[in-house]
Structure 1
Amino acid sequence: MAVRKTSHFWIHAGLISFTLLTIYPVLWVLALAFSGQQSVGLVDLPKDPSFLERARGILPWPAHVSVKNFVDVMTEQPFGRWLLNSVLVSVMTTLLGVFLACTAAYAFSRFRFPGRDSGMLAFLVSQMFPGTLMLIPLFIIIVKWLGLGNTFWGLVIVYATTAIPFCVWMLKGYFDTIPIDIEESALIDGASRQTIFLKIILPLSTPAIAITALFSFMTAWNEFILASVFLEAETMYTAPVGLRFFVGGFSSQWGFFAAGSVIVSLPVVILFLYLQKYLVSGLTAGSVK
């Protein structure tokens, strides 16, 4: 019993250590955001600091708590416009990505047609390459061929294209778990394929669709490289691209950067907390009966 307690102690100690190591940078961002200043050093140390003063200098805790950075970043900087741009791009990407992924995944799950296996394999292979590898082809297609450079629609098409393969694979696997007997019963009752898909399959697939929507939203909300390449006008920037200009080679506004990072993180946290109730599986249990 003593050996087991000792082993559990070291396991818990290791988990706590890694947890503190993970949240330490996050605490620094929060401390800098609520410090009301732009410098990284939250505590002014004396010339010859003591051990306690040095320890205080590494603690992520501001000397004075203030919301000045949050107010200034939303009023004195165009961050509010950038945030609205991110909302528009992310919502349009989510709607387009979920619509295309649901229809494609249902077709791959229920129908047998030439190229079905090759199509799923192509989706899988596309996930094996980094996103930056497609930067040049996407730039040629979106900017040169379609003329959608520096537009939200061009960015939405790019984001939806990169998110669809993963979403199709995830939804296809979930559609496979739904008993086909439900659809056969509906067909006997005279329901069309469209009615079955809209009134039966989609309601039963709410957990998978919710996670797919969250993934599509996060793909567009957090992406930086593609947005910085396709968007040229400052008024068109998304929030991640706008955050880059707070920290540059000549001036570093770390307080605005930290406050903006906290604001950008809030929608994703709220969405995850709201959608986590849909993670519970088993909605189809007993549906056949």
Structure 2
Amino acid sequence: MSSSTQTTQALRPDRKKSRLHLDILGLGIALVMVFPVYWLVISALRPNREIRSYDQTLWPTSITFDNFVRATEQPNFGTAIQSSLIVAVTAVVGGMIIATLAALAIGRFRFFGRKALVLIMILVQMLPPTAMLIPIYAQLNAMGGIDEYWGLIVVYLVSTLPFATIMIRGFVVNIPVELEESAMVDGCTRFQAFRRVIFPLLAPGLAAASIFALVNAWNEYLFAYILINDNSKYTLNVWLMTFTTERGTDYGALMAASTMIALPVVVFFMIIQKKMAAGLTSGAVKG
């Protein structure tokens, strides 16, 4: 037996131990991340007296759906769903359309300041949202955007565009120009070439960008709380405040409402998870 073979066999147990350690570490991290979600759902199914008890268990002694009933009976539940859908869907759809057009312009056409524009978008992403809160409020107040859906939509749209544009641009620059040229030689217009050739290839990038845009718009609280004062226009995250009153907090209904609010994003992610995985690994980094 050669020395190289002996060395290889000697290294195999060490590799297995190293991999086992990594698996255990990964499992531990996964449990830490999943446990709050598990506790949220379990608390939504517990009676209120058990939630307030000092003797907590990992599984409820009795399961009840009364918390979900009380959550749906909370005032403005329907209008909060409507507000969140209007704001989130408009911001996501509008953001993906504008980001795609911007990515095509930056990725396909040569113009002065193109690289500087990409750098500016990256720098904008580095700014904390709280630093922009006062200027945004002042500008929207001057434009009459306070207490209006469109004011909140503009904020979410602008906050989504830099990331979405950069990600989709990575896919655009990786698509050979010859594909468009071949389609145009065959009689397609530039728009038809985009719709039939380029757009299907951008689907993974659009899926990845859209889930980030949806999470940003659906889960955002600070701007929704500051810009919307009319309780009939509250989004779902701001509406959750209504579970806390002078008499206390209905924790069971609050947990049930939080569980229901999280479901749309989870369902949307499950629908597009394959395309999103491809979108996160296929591009978006080429210069």
What is the Cα deviation at residue 66 of structure 1? Answer: 0.6
What is the Cα deviation at residue 199 of structure 1? Answer: 2.6
SS at match of 2:248: coil
Matched to 1:244, the amino acid is M
Cα RMSD of the aligned pairs, angstroms, is 2.2
Match of 2:255 among 249, 253, 258: 258
Unaligned runs of 5+ in 2: 1-11, 283-287
Q: In 1, Cα distance between the equivalents of 2:179 and 2:19?
A: 48
Matched to 1:87, the amino acid is L
Which residue matches 1:213? 210
Aligned length: 269
SS at match of 1:66: coil
Which residue matches 2:9? none
Matched to 2:271, the amino acid is Y
Once the two structures are superposed, what CA deviation does each residue of 1:31-80 show, in whole Å capped at 9, x if it has no partner? Answer: 21011327733xx46xxxxxxxxxxx343322210111111111243223
Listed as ranges, the matches of 1:205-244 within 5 Å are 205-244=202-241
Q: In 2, Cα distance between the equivalents of 1:200 and 1:239?
A: 39
Which residue matches 2:7? none
Q: In 2, Cα distance between the equivalents of 1:162 and 1:261?
A: 24
Once the two structures are superposed, what CA deviation does each residue of 1:217-255 show, in whole Å capped at 9, x if it has no partner? Answer: 111100000000110010100001111332467621211
Q: In 1, Cα distance between the equivalents of 2:56 and 2:29?
A: 18
Matched to 1:240, the amino acid is N
23-32 or 123-132: which moved more?
Answer: 23-32
Which residue matches 1:83? 81
Higher relative helix content: 2
Q: In 2, Cα distance between the equivalents of 1:88 and 1:273?
A: 22
Match of 1:164 among 158, 161, 184: 161
Instruction: Output the TM-score relative to the length of structure 2.
Output: 0.86
Instruction: Output the TM-score relative to the length of structure 1.
Output: 0.85
Which residue matches 2:4? none
Residues 39 and 254, structure 1, Cα contact 8 Å, conserved in 2:
no
Residues 38 and 255, structure 1, Cα contact 8 Å, conserved in 2:
no
Residues 35 and 255, structure 1, Cα contact 8 Å, conserved in 2:
yes
What is the Cα deviation at residue 192 of structure 1? Answer: 2.5
What is the Cα deviation at residue 281 of structure 1? Answer: 4.2
Matched to 1:153, the amino acid is W
Q: Does residue 200 of structure 1 match 2:200?
A: no
Which residue matches 2:102? 104
Unaligned runs of 5+ in 1: 46-56, 285-289
Q: In 2, Cα distance between the equivalents of 1:136 and 1:242?
A: 23
Identical residues among aligned pairs (%): 32
Match of 1:115 among 93, 109, 113: 113
